[in-house]
Structure 1
Amino acid sequence: MSVLELTAVSKRFGGLQALSDISLSVSPGEVLGLIGPNGAGKSTLVSCITGVLRIDGGAIRFGDRDIQRMPQHRRARGGIARTFQKVRLADQLTVYENVAAGLASHWFARASGWASVFQPLSAGGIAQSVNRTLERVGLTDVSGAVVKSLPFGRRHFVEIARAIVSEPKLLLLDEPATGLTEDERERLAALVQGIAAAGCAQLLIEHDLELVGRLCHRVTVINQGHHIFTGTPAMAQSEPEVIRAYLGMNQLIGGGSDDARR
């Protein structure tokens, strides 16, 4: 069974048809790339999946449940996590506190304000989850650092850590490689592969097409709100409609072996 299945999803903003009949699915342990030109509708689609936006037509299923009318907080509690195109963190709090906040919707359903979120942080289960995640993402050495003191790249990893600390079933990554150094990019690749190996489904929006080719089992391409292709990165290289929509994609997608994408 797919973790996520979208069927003919549509979204309109006034006279603008932002999404039209978008269908895709993501399976456990799969990394599905969602790619297309700027303005194609990728971030709008993520907002529909998380419940920030309500769809105007179609269906969204998460596991065996229809979630299109489910509020955002219930989707998060059910196992959908995301990162953002522009990193969103509590800059005045520490790395540890930011990551712990990723457990708030699961452990403290009625928490009101930071004080009630962090009041029981001494609980062994929470500390264990946060510390394990910090180690997994490579942030143990800056656990007590205030987030605003960190360089840009490390903030990206704090946001990923916050997203995965609750062990989601589905992780939505919105351009996670933006602004990373080459070393950080390689760390990101290893992290995404490790998350997939643990069975988490991932939807990866990314303009770094070499990275997409290495990490993604399949790619879905959208353009001007329309689905134009789903298949392997290798197949996308020779798809005329993809090439027309995303000039140069046939030369840029790739870089990974078949073994790396299994």
Structure 2
Amino acid sequence: MSALLQVASVAKAFGGNKVLQDVNLKIGAGEIVGLLGPNGSGKSTLLNTITGFEAADHGHIVYEGQRIEKLPPHRIVRTGIARTFQLPSMPKKMSVIEVAMAAATRAHGVGATLLGTPGAREAERQARNKATALLDQLLLMPVRDLAASALSGGQKKLLGIVCALMAEPRMLMLDEPTAGVHPNLRRDIVNALQKLNAGGMTLVIVEHDMHFIREVCTRCVVLDRGHIIASCRPDELAANERVLQAYLGGGAAHSTEREAA
């Protein structure tokens, strides 16, 4: 597999707590990879380390041939990796479309353009057009003028995806995109992610919902206590003894279907 993203010997500790230990991972272009593991296994820390929100203590991260482990988040976004967050925080005084447009400003650094100049007006027009298209694609046009903070939890997650897509990434990383989401909106999120992947986007998804993992992901990577213990198809998880030990202490395979990652 030709790697779009390669994580090599990455380690991260917080004080004496070794959260990631010698993590090696390759993600190929066009994959949908589910990142699983028991609570505290290091999933979110690995996502944070790849996207620049935490600095690795050791190892390196290469995206499209470029070392990125020392880059800040805004520069990593510009290389082509965007992400969402488990609990997206939305400003109280900005509408949905204003939040999406602001994401374009952050991603492309257009905020330095002088207000009122032709360049600023053109940048705003392009950002509004792009935001409108993405809000329509993710079924948020009916709420485009509402305060972003007034959205439901599921709608906020959809808006988080819109904001990430404003950067025009090639790889999208999502932290629990369906956690606490109404079933109807969950279906919208699944459909949106599958369409993005069909259009060529690579997805890495931290998720607890095993039904979602089986439905969406092409490969699963399982972390336990900072180590990768499995990389396999979703339908192979229940027969993997190391995965069973991590989740259940060796319990029955069918219980894995009920347990979250």
**TM-score higher than 0.5:** yes
Paired with 2:211 and 2:9, the residues of 1 have a C-alpha distance of 29
What is the aligned partner in structure 1 of residue 80 from structure 2?
79
Paired with 2:242 and 2:121, the residues of 1 have a C-alpha distance of 54
RMSD value, Cα: 2.3
Q: Which of residues 234, 247, 254 is equivalent to 1:251? A: 254
Question: Offset at 1:2?
Answer: 2.2
Identity %, equivalent residues:
31
Alignment: residue pair count: 251
What is the aligned partner in structure 2 of residue 33 from structure 1?
34
Paired with 2:92 and 2:24, the residues of 1 have a C-alpha distance of 37
Q: Is the 8 A contact 1:121 1:127 kept in 2?
A: no
What is the aligned partner in structure 2 of residue 234 from structure 1?
235
Q: Is the 8 A contact 1:210 1:253 kept in 2?
A: no
What is the aligned partner in structure 1 of residue 189 from structure 2?
188
Paired with 1:250 and 1:156, the residues of 2 have a C-alpha distance of 31
What is the aligned partner in structure 2 of residue 212 from structure 1?
213
Tell whether 2:104 aligns with 1:97: no
- Residue aligned with 2:49, SS: helix
Paired with 2:37 and 2:128, the residues of 1 have a C-alpha distance of 40
TM-score by length of 1: 0.89
What is the aligned partner in structure 2 of residue 52 from structure 1?
53
Comparing 119-128 with 60-69, greater Cα deviation is found at 119-128
Q: Is the 8 A contact 2:229 2:242 kept in 1?
A: yes
Paired with 1:122 and 1:143, the residues of 2 have a C-alpha distance of 19
What is the aligned partner in structure 2 of residue 137 from structure 1?
138
TM-score by length of 2: 0.89
Tell whether 2:174 aligns with 1:173: yes
Q: Is the 8 A contact 1:242 1:249 kept in 2?
A: no
- Residue aligned with 1:55, SS: coil
What is the aligned partner in structure 1 of residue 117 from structure 2?
none
Paired with 2:252 and 2:183, the residues of 1 have a C-alpha distance of 21
Q: Is the 8 A contact 1:48 1:54 kept in 2?
A: yes
Paired with 1:106 and 1:85, the residues of 2 have a C-alpha distance of 20
Paired with 2:51 and 2:145, the residues of 1 have a C-alpha distance of 30
Question: Offset at 1:165?
Answer: 2.0
Q: Is the 8 A contact 1:89 1:159 kept in 2?
A: no
Question: Offset at 1:158?
Answer: 0.9
Q: Is the 8 A contact 1:175 1:206 kept in 2?
A: yes
Q: Is the 8 A contact 1:40 1:225 kept in 2?
A: yes
Q: Deviations over 1:100-119 (max 9, x none)?
A: 1221234325549xxxxxx6
Amino acid in the other structure paired with 2:254: Q
Structure 2 unaligned spans of 5+: 114-119
Q: Is the 8 A contact 1:104 1:111 kept in 2?
A: no
- Residue aligned with 1:246, SS: helix
